[in-house]
C-alpha cells in the first residue's frame, strides 16, 4: 500500500481479498475458482460507483500473477508483479478505459497484442473499465477472442451500466453483481480510518457520512476526507457541522413540516420551509428528502430501525409511526404523485424557491379536500387537475405561460373555489339540457347556440386526441385562442349541466376539420385534372385551367 497517497480513497484501497468490505460472497467465489484452478476466460463486475469493481479487478490480477503461492499471496511485502500491478504499470496487465477508447480500432490493437504470450507473469490480463462505452463494432470484434482466448489470456470487465452491454458479451463472461455496502459495515470501516488518521469526528457525523454515500465506499472516504480537512487543531467534527458542510438538514424539521401540513397551518408551514431554505438547502435536495420522509410515512409499519439503517433515529421513527396512524394512505399516495411532478417542474421555473412554496400550499389544500366525506373515486372531480405537455416542452412566451396557468391547468381547486366557479356560470330557468356524446354533436350544439367563434376554433385549431363522456383530450396548438379552454369548459357546463375536463396532451391528435377539408379539396382538385370531362374540355379549349373546386354536400351531407 502506498502510504504517501494523501487521498483516503486511494490510501486505503484494498490490496487483497481480505481487505474488501461488503463483497464477501464475490470474494469467496473468486478465491475458490483460483484455488481449484477453474478461472473463467472473462470476469464481468457490475455495480454502482465506488463499491470495488476496479479494485477487485486488480486484486484478481495480482492473485493470478503473484510470484508467491496463492495461499501466501503478497499483503505487505509485495513481489515485483504485485507491486507493478498496484502501480498500474505491469507490462502484462493492461488497464484500458473504454470511455476514452471506444472504437473498433482500439479493440483490434488489443486483440493483436493478445497474440503474444506474457513476458514476466503467468497470465496476460486485460482490465477494461466502463466497458459499456465500447461501440457495437468493438464488441463484435471482441466476441471470438473472448469466447476462445489463449490459455494465458484473461479479460476483466467493469461497468456501472450492465444493460448497455450486448447479451452475447455477457454470456461469455462470469458475471458478479457487487451490492451496495451495508451501513453498519461502512460505518465500522470509516470509523477505523478516522482513528488511524487521528481525526475527532463524532459517531453521529460518521453516520451522516454513511447515509450520504448511499453504499459507496469511495464516496464515504471522499466525504470523510472533507470532514478531516475542515477540522482546526483540537476541534471536533460534530453532526451540526456535518450538516452545514454536506448540505443536509435535520429530519425532525421535515416531520414537523408534515404535521403542520396536515393541520392546515399555511403560515407555519411556509415559516418552517423558509428556515430550511435559509440553511442553504437546494429545492431539489429538499424535495428528495421530502420524498424519503413520505416513503417512511407510507411504509413505517413494515420498517424496523436496526444497525443497517441510519436514515432515521429512534425519536424520528417513533414520531413518524405516531403521526402515520392519523393520516389517510390515499393522501400519502397523492402527495407522492404531486412531489414527483413538482421535481420535474423545477427545471422550467426560474425561481425554484417560490415553486416549492406553492407546492406546499397545494398540499395543504389537497389535505383539506381529502379530509371531507368525499371518497377517493370522486377526488379527481374535486381536484379538477389538468395535465399539460410534459416531455416535449414547446417554446412559449412568458405571457403565454401565464395564460396557460390561468386556464385551470396544473392547478388544484378546493371545494370553496369550485362553488364560486359554479356560481359564475349562467343559470337560466327551464333551459334545455343538451346531451353531447361526440365531437360532431359539439359542433352542432355550437350552431344551435350561435357560438360562431367557438365553432371556428373547434374546426380550425383543435386536433382531437380523444372524446369521452365529460372528458375531451386535444393536442397542444399555439394557434388556439388563449381563452379557448376556459370558454369551452364554461359553455359545456352551461349546455349539459355537467362539469367537463379539457386536457391538453403531448400526443399528436387527428387533423382538424379545416385541415381535412383542405386535404380533401386538394385531392379532388388533382383528380379533376385527370377526369374525362376536363380532358374533353381541353380538346376544344387547350388553354383551359381548373382554378378551384367546390364540394357540394348531398342530402346526407356526403
183-246 belongs to CATH 1.10.8.60? yes
Beta strands in 284-379 (DSSP E): none
**Separation in Å, CA 259 to CA 272, 320, 469, 545:** 11, 10, 39, 78
Q: Which residue did the predictor score with more confidence, 527 or 261?
A: 261
Query: What pLDDT score was predicted for residue 155?
Result: 93
d(CA 344, CA 410): 13
Choose among 461, 464, 501: nearest CA to 481. 461
User: Of the ranges 25-34, 42-51, 59-68, 522-531, which one carries the lowest mean pLDDT score?
Assistant: 522-531
Q: Which CATH class is domain 251-382?
A: mainly alpha
Instruction: Say what the pLDDT of residue 418 is.
Output: 43
The pLDDT assigned to 314 comes to 64
d(CA 464, CA 510): 5
167 band by pLDDT with thresholds 50, 70 and 90: very high
pLDDT value, residue 168: 92
Out of 41-45, 361-365, 474-478, least confident range: 474-478
CB 296 within 8 A of CB 312: yes
Please report the pLDDT score of residue 165 as a whole number. Answer: 92
Q: What is the DSSP string of 116-134?
A: SPPSSSS-EEEEEETGGGS
Q: Where are the domains of the chain?
A: 8-177, 183-246, 251-382, 403-505, 517-558
* Residue 39: how many other CB atoms lie within 10 Å: 16
Please report the pLDDT score of residue 487 as a whole number. Answer: 85
Give the 3-state secondary structure percentages of the chain, helix then strand then coil, rounded to 5: 55, 10, 40
Contact 112, 81 (CB under 8 A): no
Residue 169 pLDDT grade (very low, low, confident, very high; cuts 50, 70, 90) = very high
Of the ranges 288-292, 406-410, 548-552, which one carries the lowest mean pLDDT score? Answer: 406-410
**Beta pairing partners, 94:** 126
pLDDT in tens, 100-121: 888 888 888 888 888 888 888 8
The mean of the pLDDT values for the chain is 78
With a cut of 70, say whether residue 539 has pLDDT above it: yes
Place of cell 379545416: 514
Q: 546: pLDDT confidence band, cut at 50, 70 and 90?
A: confident
pLDDT of residue 250: 66
Kindly tell me if the per-residue pLDDT of 32 is higher than 70: yes
Mean pLDDT of 47-53: 90
388 close to 504: Cβ distance less than 8 angstroms = yes
For residues 337 and 331, give the distance between their C-alpha atoms in angstroms, rounded to a whole number.
10
Q: Is the pLDDT of residue 432 over 70?
A: no
Nearest Cα neighbor of 134 from 96, 93, 173 is 96
Lowest-confidence range among 339-343, 403-407, 509-513?
403-407
Task: Say whether pLDDT at 394 is over 60.
Answer: no
Percentage of the chain modeled with pLDDT above 90 = 12
Greater model confidence, 180 or 405: 180
How far apart CA 87 and CA 98 sit, in angstroms, is: 19
Q: What confidence tier does 178 reach under pLDDT thresholds 50, 70, 90?
A: very high
Among the ranges given (124-138, 280-294, 537-551), the one the predictor scored with the smallest mean pLDDT: 537-551
Q: CB of 234 within 8 A of CB of 206?
A: no
Give pLDDT tens digits for 329-383: 788 888 888 888 888 888 888 888 888 889 898 888 877 665 543 444 444 443 3
Tell me the C-alpha distance between 103 and 107, whole Å: 7
Residue 504 has a pLDDT of 80
Alpha carbons 96 and 118: distance in angstroms, whole number: 17
Answer with the residue of higher pLDDT: 371 or 478.
478
Closest CA to 237 of 194, 205, 210: 205
Nearest in space to 21 (alpha carbons), one of 263, 174, 170, 193: 193
C-alpha cell at 342: 413538482
Q: Looking at the predicted structure, is the pLDDT value of residue 384 above 70?
A: no
Average pLDDT over every residue of 40-58: 91
Q: How far is CA 449 from the centre of its chain?
A: 48
Task: Identify the CATH homologous superfamily for domain 8-177.
Answer: P-loop containing nucleotide triphosphate hydrolases (3.40.50.300)
> Which of these ranges, 184-198, 208-222, 272-286, 423-437, has the smallest mean pLDDT?
423-437
Distances from the Cα of 437 to the Cα of 192, 350, 370, 444, 557, angstroms:
72, 42, 31, 11, 20
Q: Which fold has domain 403-505?
A: GMP Synthetase; Chain A, domain 3 (3.30.300)
Query: Who contacts 3 (Cβ-Cβ below 8 Å, separation ≥6)?
Result: 11
How confident is the model at residue 57, as a pLDDT?
Answer: 92
352: left (phi over 0), alpha (psi -120 to 50) or beta: alpha
Closest CA to 12 of 308, 242, 228, 243: 228
pLDDT bracket for residue 431 (50, 70, 90): very low
Rounded distance between C-alpha atoms, residue 534 and residue 546, angstroms:
9
Q: Looking at the DSSP assignment, which residues form a beta bridge with residue 128?
A: 96, 157
Cell numbers given for 394: 414547446
What pLDDT score does 207 carry?
Answer: 86
Are the C-beta atoms of residues 142 and 27 closer than 8 Å to each other?
Answer: no
Instruction: Report pLDDT for 415.
Output: 40
Q: Which residues pair with 45 in a beta bridge?
A: 158, 176
Residues 294-331: pLDDT tens digits? 888 888 777 665 544 556 666 677 778 788 777 777 88
Q: Looking at 152-166, 365-379, 511-525, which range is the least confident one?
A: 365-379
Any bridge partners for residue 501, and if so which? Answer: 471
Q: Which of 544, 485, 484, 550 is nearest to 521 (CA)?
A: 550
311 close to 211: Cβ distance less than 8 angstroms: yes
**pLDDT band, very low/low/confident/very high, at 249 (cuts 50, 70, 90):** low
d(CA 238, CA 250): 13
Q: Ramachandran region of residue 88, left (φ > 0), alpha (ψ -120 to 50) or beta? A: left
Q: What's the pLDDT at 30?
A: 92
Q: What confidence category does residue 128 fall into, taking pLDDT thresholds of 50, 70 and 90?
A: very high
How far apart are the C-alpha atoms of 13 and 237, rounded to whole Å? 24
- Range 55-78 average pLDDT: 82
- Asked if 172 contacts 136 with a C-beta cutoff of 8 angstroms, the reply is no
DSSP letter string over 105-117? HHHHHHHHHHTSP
Predicted model pTM: 0.57
- Phi-psi domain of 198 (left: phi exceeds 0; alpha: psi -120 through 50; beta: other): left
> Residue 172, exposed/middle/buried by CB under 10 A (0-12, 13-18, 19+)?
buried
Element (H, E) at 471: strand 471-475
Calpha distance 24→152 (Å, rounded): 27
Q: CA 88 to CA 71: how far, in whole Å?
A: 23
Amino acid at each position: 500500500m502506498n502510504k504517501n497517497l494523501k487521498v483516503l480513497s486511494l490510501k486505503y484501497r484494498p490490496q487483497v481479498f481480505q481487505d474488501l468490505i461488503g463483497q464477501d460472497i464475490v470474494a469467496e467465489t473468486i478465491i475458490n475458482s483460483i484455488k481449484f484452478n477453474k478461472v473463467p476466460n472473462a470476469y464481468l463486475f457490475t455495480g454502482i460507483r465506488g463499491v470495488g469493481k476496479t479494485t477487485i479487478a486488480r486484486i484478481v490480477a495480482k492473485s493470478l500473477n503473484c510470484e508467491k503461492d496463492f495461499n501466501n499471496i503478497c499483503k505487505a511485502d509485495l513481489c515485483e508483479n504485485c507491486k507493478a500491478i498496484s502501480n498500474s504499470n505491469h507490462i502484462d496487465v493492461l488497464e484500458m478505459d473504454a470511455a476514452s477508447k471506444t472504437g473498433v480500432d482500439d479493440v483490434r490493437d488489443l486483440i493483436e497484442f493478445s497474440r503474444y504470450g506474457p513476458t514476466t507473469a503467468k497470465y496476460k490480463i486485460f482490465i477494461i473499465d466502463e466497458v459499456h462505452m465500447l461501440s457495437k463494432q468493438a464488441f463484435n470484434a471482441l466476441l471470438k477472442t473472448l469466447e476462445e482466448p489463449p490459455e494465458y489470456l484473461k479479460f476483466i470487465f467493469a461497468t456501472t451500466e450492465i444493460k448497455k452491454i450486448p447479451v452475447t458479451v455477457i454470456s461469455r463472461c462470469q458475471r458478479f453483481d457487487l451490492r451496495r455496502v451495508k451501513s453498519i459495515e461502512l460505518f465500522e470501516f470509516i470509523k477505523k480510518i478516522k482513528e488511524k488518521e487521528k481525526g475527532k469526528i463524532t459517531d453521529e457525523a460518521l453516520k451522516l457520512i454513511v447515509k450520504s454515500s448511499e453504499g459507496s465506499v469511495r464516496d464515504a472516504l471522499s466525504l470523510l476526507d472533507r470532514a478531516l480537512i475542515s477540522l482546526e487543531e483540537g476541534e471536533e467534527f460534530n453532526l451540526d457541522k456535518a450538516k452545514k458542510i454536506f448540505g443536509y438538514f435535520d429530519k425532525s424539521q421535515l416531520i414537523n413540516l408534515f404535521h403542520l401540513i396536515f393541520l392546515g397551518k399555511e403560515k407555519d408551514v411556509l415559516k418552517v420551509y423558509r428556515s430550511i431554505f435559509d440553511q442553504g438547502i437546494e429545492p431539489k435536495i429538499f424535495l428528495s428528502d421530502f420524498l424519503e420522509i413520505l416513503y417512511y410515512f407510507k411504509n413505517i409499519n413494515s420498517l424496523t430501525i436496526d444497525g443497517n439503517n441510519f436514515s432515521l433515529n429512534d425519536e424520528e421513527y417513533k414520531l413518524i409511526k405516531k403521526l402515520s396512524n392519523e393520516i389517510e394512505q390515499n393522501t400519502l399516495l397523492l402527495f407522492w404523485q404531486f412531489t414527483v411532478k413538482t421535481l420535474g417542474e423545477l427545471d422550467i421555473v426560474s425561481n425554484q424557491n417560490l415553486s416549492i412554496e406553492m407546492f406546499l400550499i397545494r398540499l395543504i389544500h389537497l389535505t383539506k379536500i381529502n379530509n371531507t366525506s368525499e371518497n377517493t373515486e370522486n377526488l379527481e372531480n374535486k381536484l379538477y387537475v389538468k395535465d399539460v405537455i410534459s416531455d416535449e416542452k414547446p417554446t412559449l412566451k412568458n405571457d403565454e405561460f401565464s395564460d396557460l396557468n390561468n386556464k385551470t391547468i396544473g392547478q388544484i381547486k378546493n371545494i370553496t373555489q369550485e362553488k364560486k366557479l359554479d356560481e359564475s356560470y349562467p343559470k337560466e330557468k327551464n333551459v334545455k339540457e343538451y346531451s353531447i356524446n361526440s365531437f360532431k354533436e359539439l359542433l352542432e350544439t355550437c350552431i344551435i347556440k350561435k357560438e360562431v367563434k367557438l365553432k371556428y376554433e373547434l374546426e380550425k385549431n383543435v386536433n382531437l386526441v380523444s372524446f369521452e363522456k365529460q372528458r375531451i383530450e386535444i393536442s397542444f396548438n399555439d394557434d388556439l385562442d388563449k381563452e379557448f379552454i376556459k370558454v369551452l369548459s364554461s359553455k359545456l357546463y352551461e349546455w349539459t349541466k355537467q362539469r367537463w375536463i379539457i386536457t391538453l396532451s403531448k400526443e399528436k391528435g387527428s387533423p382538424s376539420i379545416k385541415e381535412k377539408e383542405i386535404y380533401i379539396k386538394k385531392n379532388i382538385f388533382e383528380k379533376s385534372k385527370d377526369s374525362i370531362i376536363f380532358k374533353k374540355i381541353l380538346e376544344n379549349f387547350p388553354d383551359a385551367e381548373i382554378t378551384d373546386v367546390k364540394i357540394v354536400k348531398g342530402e346526407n351531407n356526403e
